[in-house]
Amino acid sequence: MGEEINDNTGTGSTNTNSNETNGEAADGGVKYYTLEDIRLHNMSNDSWLIIHNKIYDITSFLEEHPGGEEVLLEQAGADATESFEDVGHSTDAREMLEQYYIGELHMDDRIKEKTKVVESKDSGESRCVYLDFYKFNFVYLQKRSLGIFVDMLKKGIT
Ligand code: HEM
């Protein structure tokens, strides 16, 4: 199933129109779901998860999960990428994901997430701290080399 995906992650190029919401198939048969759509599937008889922008219907897997049903239900209807990665799942576990794949997170919802991360990482405040640090080092080094130069001159004169 996973092979059918035309993964445009990061490009946000062609698949951003509203026709793709609510599970409607776009090009290549890939279905796109919004966060709103996914949020509704948070019950033991209807569980969806987002992992790395892909949507999985894990309803039939709940009872089989080696880590227990509870942890999956806590994440149902939401983005479980972080919890999934925190556990350090094996390659086998990652391959198992394919059989539960049903579609992709809508591009609009991905873009929002990415913007948020970029904003928080690259805050003006942290940039100021770096600039101050470099300015301080620059002035310090200038003074040091000037001192050494003056010393050399003095030694040369005497
Ligand atoms: C559909 C998604 C998932 C699949 C296919 C999956 C599959 C597996 C598999 C095969 C294992 C056995 C160990 C391994 O091979 O890595 C496992 C263990 C485990 N999983 Fe998942 N898992 C999924 C999602 C999650 C999520 C979202 C969480 C956390 C909220 C989670 C928490 C755990 C825990 C705590 C263990 C037990 C680890 C241990 O005993 O060392 N899993 N999972």
Hey, which of 1, 41, 65, 84 would you mutate to test ligand 1's pocket, going by the most ligand atoms within 8 Å of its Cβ? Answer: 65
Q: Which two tokens stand for residue 24?
A: 């409607």
State the number of CA atoms in the 13 A half-sphere of 63 facing the CB: 4
- Let me know if residue 38 belongs to a domain: yes
Residue 110 has pLDDT above 60, yes or no: yes
**Cα(63)–Cα(13) distance, rounded to whole angstroms?**
38
Q: What is the CATH number of the domain that holds 55?
A: 3.10.120.10
- Let me know if residue 117 belongs to a domain: no
| Closest CA relative to residue 70, chosen from 62, 82, 79, 59 | 62
pLDDT tens across 46-68, in order?
999 999 999 999 999 999 999 99
**Cα(41)–Cα(52) distance, rounded to whole angstroms?**
18
**Based on C-alpha coordinates, what's the Rg of the chain?**
26
CA of 28 to the centre of ligand 1 (A): 30
When divided into structural domains, the chain yields a total of 1
Residue 8: which pLDDT band, with cuts at 50, 70 and 90?
very low
- Let me know if residue 130 belongs to a domain: no
CA of 109 to the centre of ligand 1 (A): 25
**Cα(69)–Cα(46) distance, rounded to whole angstroms?**
13
ipTM of the complex: 0.93
Q: Is 102 helix (H, G, I), strand (E, B) or coil?
A: strand
pLDDT of residue 15: 42
- Let me know if residue 151 belongs to a domain: no
In ligand 1, the atom with minimum distance to the C-alpha of 61 is: 1
- Let me know if residue 81 belongs to a domain: yes
Range(s) of the domain holding residue 97: 32-105
- Let me know if residue 97 belongs to a domain: yes
Q: Mean pLDDT, to the nearest integer, of 65-80?
A: 97
Phi, psi (rounded to 5 degrees) for 156: -65, -40
pLDDT tens across 116-146, in order?
555 555 555 555 555 565 666 666 777 777 7
**Cα(44)–Cα(121) distance, rounded to whole angstroms?**
36
- Let me know if residue 20 belongs to a domain: no
In ligand 1, the atom with minimum distance to the C-alpha of 71 is: 30
Calculate the CA 76 to chain-centre distance. 18
List residues near ligand 1 (CB under 6 A): 49, 56, 58, 61, 65-67, 71-72, 75, 80, 83-84, 87, 89-90, 92-93, 96-97, 100
- Let me know if residue 85 belongs to a domain: yes
147 vs 50, more confident: 50
Q: Mean pLDDT, to the nearest integer, of 88-114?
A: 90
Q: Mean pLDDT, to the nearest integer, of 104-117?
A: 74
CA of 85 to the centre of ligand 1 (A): 9
CA of 60 to the centre of ligand 1 (A): 15
Q: Mean pLDDT, the chain, as a whole number?
A: 78
> How many residues make up the chain in this entry?
158
Residue 13 has pLDDT above 90, yes or no: no
DSSP string, 25-65: B-GGG-BEE-HHHHHT-EETTEEEEEETTEEEE-GGGGGG-
